[in-house]
């Protein structure tokens, strides 16, 4: 039996706050990710192997000078 050389750690979900939910969703679907859920404030896409990429809508913060 061959030794399993894969890392012992797996990633189940990656969550990102994005300023444009529609653009982010469209881009990742265009490169082949499968849509699991698309809502007004959250999108869930699936990578091969079952890892989920979760986009959450974030308000754009204007640039401020300090």
Q: What is the pLDDT of residues 1-51, one digit of tens each?
A: 788 887 888 888 999 999 999 999 999 999 999 999 999 999 999 988 889
pLDDT score recorded for residue 65: 65
Residue 54 has pLDDT above 80, yes or no: yes
Whether residue 28 is contained in a domain is answered as yes
Helix H or strand E encompassing 45: strand 42-46
Going from the C-alpha of 18 to that of each of 5, 15, 47, 55, 64, the distances in angstroms are 35, 10, 18, 6, 19
Give me the CATH number covering residue 44. 3.10.180.10
pLDDT score recorded for residue 61: 63
pLDDT score recorded for residue 19: 92
Q: What's the predicted TM-score (pTM) here?
A: 0.74
Whether residue 65 is contained in a domain is answered as no
Residue 66 has pLDDT above 90, yes or no: no
């Amino acid at each position: 039996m061959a030794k399993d050389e894969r890392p012992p750690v797996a990633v189940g979900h990656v969550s990102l706050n994005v300023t444009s939910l529609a653009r982010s969703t469209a881009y990742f679907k265009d490169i082949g990710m499968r849509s699991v859920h698309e809502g007004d404030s959250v999108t869930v896409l699936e990578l091969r192997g079952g890892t989920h990429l979760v986009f959450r809508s974030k308000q754009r913060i204007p640039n401020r000078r300090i």
